[in-house]
Structure 1
């Protein structure tokens, strides 16, 4: 009998957890050759998420386990903590809001047991129910990062995926402080099968991902798996330097040909200075983001801190 570990990162999910557990259990009960273990990770929730986890653990002490952080460390840290705690032959990551359909679990196990795949992921073929602007930027992000990075990420891919123990160990071997799991799952390789499905709305609660947070997460992914921003900074600096040299030559030639020519174009000169200054600040900012990631990594702080675990 194979053991299946279900990793569930949770933040403010007190309403969703009572619905999530029975929905997944209903599917697992049909899988006679699978022994499940749940790992709920409380990512510093301020509501009753931890209390709901404790209820599940008390009712199912051998099956439902929980980890509670000392504060909010982010979903990536919660996912990593769950993977570290898992002991199953197969490990699946799911959201508590049931946007990841439990009905796929038997099919996922079937693909892994065939030996042809090391991972079975899922991807949404549409974003019905989401804001159009968010869908637009999401699609643009996937197109952009796949264009500038050697690590290809499937458009619409979810964190909802089932992996073999070998792949989980490979993911855990990557101990970087700044984590972008979609990129990590792709970077470690292994044969992956994707299952398509239409978007499912949350059963309870609301998403804690704002547009600004998604932008920050997207930039983090780009910086973690591509040096393109640094290359852009180099090109901007090079082009600015060349244009400056050309401008200097034009001024010198003009002075030689007509020394008495009047000085003009004060406003355009100031505009050019401001433009070049802005480009310099942009390039310094890009470099600073990469240096900041290095700074956080070399301090070797823990990815998360556990307050309670059962």
Structure 2
């Protein structure tokens, strides 16, 4: 069992992989502890599997796990956590925006302070675009307000976990995990290491706006019933407004001030119809998650693990 496992989700990263290996290997060798680097190929469609195999032949500590299809960043991370064997597990992206040199600081802090979690916190995000910084700030404000202040601000998926934390996370029946919220939810002793976020070393971001919106939706729906309560309050507000309109219409009819027309009716019906659709949509998000949980389908399927002799014999 290695002292340290570094989990690296990878998707279509043929250009940055050699740079990542060149930079992180001296860092890990310099720690003078037993380690493995667990690269989880999330169904890449470029030459990523070939590059990983080439690197593995030159780097004995590199282990590759290949998923049968693209399952998403969080599920690829989950696959790595389920198969990580180290006493401490560090998760890091391959794009080198999070510096591998910080891993040593995380490990020393965890050992000296007896911590189960060490978050990597981005103290400086000046290399990100203004849109990225703005949307990220909005996301963290929203999550801290809904989930709680225990969620570290500007802490992504660059973190160190003890074996206790990893076992607790892998035991959870989560089908759509959001680890930046699940880890603080555990309430384990934790600390922070700050760093400056760098620009991407090569290639293009694999986290476009659509995936960011999906992550925010999973974060809100998966950790809070607030949308359901919003739907309830909107429904109550619609009922109150409709009652006021009905009373106003009755008074106008008694006074004889009724003007023939259909504008007010169309506005009221349209407003109430939109309100009902919104509430049904919010309820549908929760029902969909219940349906997914009842199906009990795996969030990812491993096709190959270089540490498995059985898989090696099949190739």
Q: What TM-score does the superposition give when structure 2 sets the normalisation length?
A: 0.93
* Aligned equivalent of 1:15: 15
Q: How far off its partner does 1:64 sit? A: 1.1
Please show how residues 199-214 of structure 1 align to structure 2 within 5 Å: 199-214=197-212
Q: How far off its partner does 1:208 sit? A: 1.3
1:151–1:225 Cα contact (<8 Å) kept: no
Distance in 2 between residues matched to 1:248 and 1:153, nearest whole Å: 46
Please show how residues 162-173 of structure 1 align to structure 2 within 5 Å: 162-173=160-171
* Aligned equivalent of 1:270: 266
Greater shift, 268-277 or 63-72, is seen at 268-277
Q: How far off its partner does 1:149 sit? A: 2.1
Distance in 1 between residues matched to 2:267 and 2:55, nearest whole Å: 64
Q: How far off its partner does 1:25 sit? A: 1.3
Counterpart secondary structure, 2:161: strand
Counterpart secondary structure, 2:240: helix
Structure 1 235/170 Cα, relative in aligned 2: closer, same or farther at 3 Å? same
Please show how residues 38-77 of structure 1 align to structure 2 within 5 Å: 38-61=37-60, 63-77=61-75
Q: How far off its partner does 1:151 sit? A: 6.9
Q: How far off its partner does 1:66 sit? A: 0.6
Counterpart secondary structure, 1:71: coil
Distance in 2 between residues matched to 1:173 and 1:85, nearest whole Å: 13
Please show how residues 147-186 of structure 1 align to structure 2 within 5 Å: 147-150=145-148, 152-186=150-184
Structure 1: tracts of 5 or more residues without a match: none
Q: How far off its partner does 1:49 sit? A: 0.7
1:151–1:186 Cα contact (<8 Å) kept: no
Structure 2: tracts of 5 or more residues without a match: 307-315
* Aligned equivalent of 2:223: 225
Greater shift, 130-139 or 202-211, is seen at 130-139
Q: How far off its partner does 1:264 sit? A: 4.4
Deviations 1:240-264 (A, max 9, x none): 00111122122223323x2x43334
Counterpart secondary structure, 1:122: strand
- Give the RMSD, CA atoms, in angstroms: 1.6
Counterpart secondary structure, 2:34: strand
Deviations 1:234-285 (A, max 9, x none): 00000100111122122223323x2x43334632331222122111111111
Distance in 1 between residues matched to 2:261 and 2:144, nearest whole Å: 43
Q: Does 1:297 align with 2:296?
A: no
1:91–1:163 Cα contact (<8 Å) kept: yes
Q: What TM-score does the superposition give when structure 1 sets the normalisation length?
A: 0.94
Q: How far off its partner does 1:134 sit? A: 2.3
Q: Does 1:308 align with 2:304?
A: yes
Distance in 1 between residues matched to 2:290 and 2:148, nearest whole Å: 21
1:134–1:211 Cα contact (<8 Å) kept: no
2:105–2:193 Cα contact (<8 Å) kept: no
Deviations 1:22-68 (A, max 9, x none): 21111122212x1111111000111111111111222234x211111
Please show how residues 133-152 of structure 1 align to structure 2 within 5 Å: 133-150=131-148, 152=150
Distance in 2 between residues matched to 1:152 and 1:105, nearest whole Å: 22
Distance in 2 between residues matched to 1:87 and 1:75, nearest whole Å: 20
Counterpart secondary structure, 2:7: strand
Q: How far off its partner does 1:150 sit? A: 3.7
Runs of 4+ in 1 over 3 A off after TM superposition: none
Structure 1 171/23 Cα, relative in aligned 2: closer, same or farther at 3 Å? same
Number of corresponding residues: 306
Counterpart secondary structure, 1:114: helix
Q: Does 1:95 align with 2:93?
A: yes
